[in-house]
Amino acid sequence: MSSIAVMPDPLLAEQPHPPVAPRVDHRVIVHGETRVDPYHWMRDRDNPAVTAYLEAENAYTAAMTAHTAPLQAQLYDEMLARIREDDRTAPVRRGVWRYYSRTETGKAYPIYCRSVGDTGAEEVVFDQNAAAAEHEFYQLGALEISPDHRLLAILEDTSGYEDFTLRVRELATGMWLADRIERLGFGLAWASDSRTIFYLTTDEAKRADRVWRHVLGADRARAAEVFHEPGVLNNVGVQRARSGEYIVLTSSSFTDGEVHLVDAARPTEPPVLVRARRDHVEYEVEPGMDWLYLCTNDGAPNFKVMRAPMATPGAWEEWLPHRPAVFVEGVHVFRQFVVVQERQRGLRALRVIDVASGASHDVDCPDAAYGIHVGANPEFDTTELRFTYSSLVTPDTVFDYDLRTRTRTVRKKEQVLGGYDESAYAIERIEAVARDGTRVPVSLVYRAPLARDGARPLLLYAYGSYGYPMEPTFSATRVSLLDRGFIFAIAHVRGGQEMGRAWYEGGKMMQKMNTFTDFIDVAEHLVRERYTSSDCLTANGGSAGGLLMGVVANLRPDLFHTIVADVPFVDVVNTMLDASIPLTAQEWLQWGNPMEPAAYAYIKGYAPYENVIPRAYPRMLVTSGVNDSRVAFWEPAKWVAKLRASKTDTRPLLLKMNMGAGHGGASGRYERLKETAFRYAFVLDG
């Protein structure tokens, strides 16, 4: 590969022509079948031809969307105008300190600050703008204050590839210590001495596999390996428990795991195993006053809560029994109370239990569709719970909830500038019946009133993987679509966990097709009920949701007018066959291992790249980032090349490749707004 066949510069041509990617057939035999991949060569990011192709695609996209520049600018300006650029988060109490972050007009990143009490002078802990000044991309993987409040430890990534560097700052002087450790994974925890830090490293496939203990001032070579997980299906994690007594080490796959505890006051002591892993048994641990609280699916498909004495962590006893209609997501443990995070009828609920008396109550949530998120709550000895509540029309509202009196205090409500009026919009929570009779929840928001005449444009979003629920929460940027007549809808398809564990299990492995057909059935329902029509229907999803976009594009291209696929996981068979690719091996428990004939056949039956054929496709925008470590850039690049060579229509097919970012796109808030404006402009231009 020395060159790429590209038409004359599309930025200069009167009629832009798309790049033509050459075919170089790569052949492998799998299960007796010869597989031919004509765009395998795109995996070589060091090949100048690959860079040339990506740049040609970007130039073509720029030319094809140049006429939308005024609309992009208008969208950007109105979205920016809704945001209070000079803003501050609600302070979080940690001892005598109040920690918060704030933003300033024109600055892309937050400034992390603190004060003594609510009225003390501000002290800047970390200015992310200053740190990012010399980098095109900058993100934090962790920001942790030492227990004595004297030091700050951060994990920073300047490429988007999620290779983090540990740095430690002395807060009194603002000086960075000499300690600098590179190529780390997510996860950081301080021991109680405020001199010892636990961190993670990853293997060649970017699987977090080792926990290390580092003493400040010591050379990295003297760091002690605390835990190693050799199993390729498991990732390790590390965090400091809210009680402060333990460093919690986790090793988990998608189906099982185990937890070890390190005494935070004696960080050199060996970890203590809570209970050895067992097949298909998951558990998480939250230390309390005298007990460990364990959320587990052991004999409980929708999870239950057990507890065990600190001295004998393997001696579990039932504390909150399994309830088939309620899915337990986790527990937040405080000295006097345990808050159980549950899911009922597809929506999150918070159940408060008094440890001493066992009395319980639920936190009230007024909307038909909403999201509630429990904050960091770093204080263990407290009777206040910090959470954020929002709905599809209600901006994020931060509450402090008194666990004793059941009263709540608003600490901050997101300001939406420019005259936003919640009462001008309406929420619906409906159900669509899937082809197998399953009732799939759908959350909708639109500007009222709604005449169901099929004329409204509608953007249908879904994710549907890993058991991640899609919460029906507020977005200020989304108002730009709603005010232009759009309905925004979330299809809570199987593969998520909105309706409990069975909802997740019903959309993975050899039942993964349910995710895709649920989405199609929801779309058909919305058209049939005249919320919209196929000519007005846009589908959107990212990452595993981008896989969803790729499948529905192949299965029902006639149903959608436009598809926007962000960082899409579309080359499923080839990726799952190659365990050297980051994150692949553990993903076998999500999609199946194609080295097994049955799994290979099943995945091949839906994989987007495999199933591109000559046919008409909808308008399509595909986005990605060259430094993406989760879904490699070549997946969407190969998919677009194959689509372009196969499709029989003349509708736009655009690839927008960020040449300096990873899975999450641009890192600064202004650049992210520009990316959103670009996507919206493409949708509106149709």
Q: How confident is the model over 486-517, as pLDDT tens digits? A: 999 999 999 999 999 999 999 999 999 999 99
Long-range contacts of 130-133 (CB under 8 A, 24+ apart): 131/156, 132/108, 132/667, 132/668
CB-based contact 165:142 (threshold 8 Å): no
- Mean pLDDT over 384-394 rounds to 97
Catalytic annotation on 280?
no
Please report which confidence band the pLDDT of residue 614 belongs to, taking 50, 70 and 90 as the band edges.
very high
pLDDT in tens, 642-657: 999 999 999 999 999 9
* Per-residue confidence band for 387, with pLDDT thresholds at 50, 70 and 90: very high
Strand ranges (E), 64-138: 87-88, 92-94, 97-103, 111-116, 123-127
Q: Could you report the per-residue pLDDT of 462-481, keeping only the tens digit for each?
A: 999 999 999 999 999 999 99
What are the DSSP E strand ranges found in 434-504?
Answer: 439-447, 458-461, 487-491
The verdict on whether omega for the bond into residue 608 sits within 30 degrees of 0, i.e. cis, is no
Written as one letter, the residue type at 233 is: L
Q: Which residues contact 232 (CB under 8 A, 6 or more apart)?
A: 205, 207, 579, 585, 586
Backbone angles phi, psi at 296, to 5 degrees: -145, 155
pLDDT-derived band at 178 (thresholds 50, 70, 90) equals very high
Which amino acid appears at position 625 of this protein?
A: G
Mean pLDDT computed over 330-354: 97
User: What separation in angstroms does the CA of 610 have from each of 74, 109, 573, 583, 650?
Assistant: 39, 41, 8, 21, 22
Q: Is the pLDDT of residue 362 over 70?
A: yes
pLDDT (average), residues 356-371 = 93
Answer yes or no: are the C-beta atoms of 622 and 640 closer than 8 Å. Answer: yes
Tokens for 554?
């192949």
- Spatial separation of the C-alpha atoms in residues 367 and 113, rounded to whole Å: 34
What whole-number distance in Å separates Cα of residue 283 and Cα of residue 320? 14
Q: What is the pLDDT of residue 6?
A: 40
Mean pLDDT of the chain: 95
Both tokens of 109, joined, read 């990143």
Reported as a single tens digit per residue, the pLDDT across 144-168 is 999 999 999 999 999 999 999 999 9
DSSP line for 503-541: HHHTTSGGGTHHHHHHHHHHHHHHHHTTS--GGGEEEEE
For residue 565, list its beta bridge partners: 541, 622
Q: What is the spatial distance between Cα 460 and Cα 178, in angstroms, rounded to a whole number?
A: 50
pLDDT band at 25 (very low <50, low <70, confident <90, very high): very high
Specify whether domain 139-287 bears CATH 2.130.10.120. yes
Is residue 685 flagged as an active site residue?
no
Let me know the angle formed at the C-alpha of 553 by 551 and 555, rounded to the nearest 5 degrees.
65
Q: Residue 666's pLDDT is what?
A: 85
The rounded distance, in Å, linking the Cα atoms of 325 and 500 is 8
In the block, residue with structure tokens 């099943």: 602
Q: For residues 25 and 34, what is the distance between their CA atoms, to the nearest angstrom? A: 11
- Over residues 505-560, the pLDDT tens digits come to 999 999 999 999 999 999 999 999 999 999 999 999 999 999 999 999 999 999 99
Tell me what pLDDT residue 686 has: 86
Q: Which helix (H) or strand (E) holds 131?
A: helix 128-132
| 525 is known as an active-site residue | no
For 288, residues 6+ apart whose C-beta sits below 8 A from its C-beta are 243, 307, 333, 334, 335, 338, 355
* Per-residue confidence band for 582, with pLDDT thresholds at 50, 70 and 90: confident
**pLDDT computed for residue 368 by the predictor:** 84
Pairing of strands 347-354, 397-402: unpaired
Q: 267: Cβ–Cβ under 8 A, 6 or more apart, which residues?
A: 191, 192, 193, 196, 198, 213, 247
Q: Output the DSSP codes for 14-38.
A: SS-----PPP--EEEEETTEEEEET
What φ, ψ does residue 575 adopt, rounded to 5°?
-70, -45
Query: Quick one: average pLDDT of 328-353?
Result: 97
What is the distance in angstroms between the CA of the first residue and the CA of the last residue of the chain?
36
Strands (E), 117-231: 123-127, 139-145, 151-157, 164-170, 176-190, 196-202, 208-215, 224-228
- pLDDT computed for residue 664 by the predictor: 84
Confidence of residue 13 (pLDDT cuts 50, 70, 90): very low
DSSP structural state of residue 579: T
Give pLDDT, residue 10: 41
- Catalytic option among 179, 400, 566, 628: 628
Residue with tokens 């926007």: 564
User: What was the pLDDT predicted at 14?
Assistant: 61
Active-site residue identified among 159, 465, 663, 667 = 663
What average pLDDT does range 63-89 have in this prediction? 97
| Res 8: pLDDT | 40
Which of 552, 686, 684 lies closest to 611 in space, CA to CA? 552
Query: Is the pLDDT at 2 greater than 70, yes or no?
Result: no
Question: Looking at 243, 543, 629, 667, which residue is catalytic?
Answer: 543
Rounded to an integer, what is the distance from CA 231 to the centroid of its chain? 24
Where does residue 489 fall: left (phi above 0), alpha (psi -120 to 50 degrees), or beta otherwise? beta
Q: Give tens-digit pLDDT for 227-274.
A: 999 999 999 999 999 999 999 999 999 999 999 999 999 999 999 999
Please count the other Cβ atoms lying within 10 Å of the Cβ belonging to residue 431: 14
CB-count burial class (<10 Å; 0-12, 13-18, 19+) for 670: middle
* pLDDT at position 320: 97
Identify the pLDDT of residue 367: 86
Nearest to 493 by CA among 527, 468, 474: 468
Rounded mean pLDDT of 624-653?
96
Closest of 334, 283, 275, 272 to residue 305, by C-alpha: 283
Q: How far apart are CA 198 and CA 376, in angstroms?
A: 19
Whole-number CA gyration radius for the chain: 25
Amino acid at 418: G
pLDDT of residue 653: 98
> How does residue 5 score in pLDDT terms, banded at 50, 70 and 90?
very low
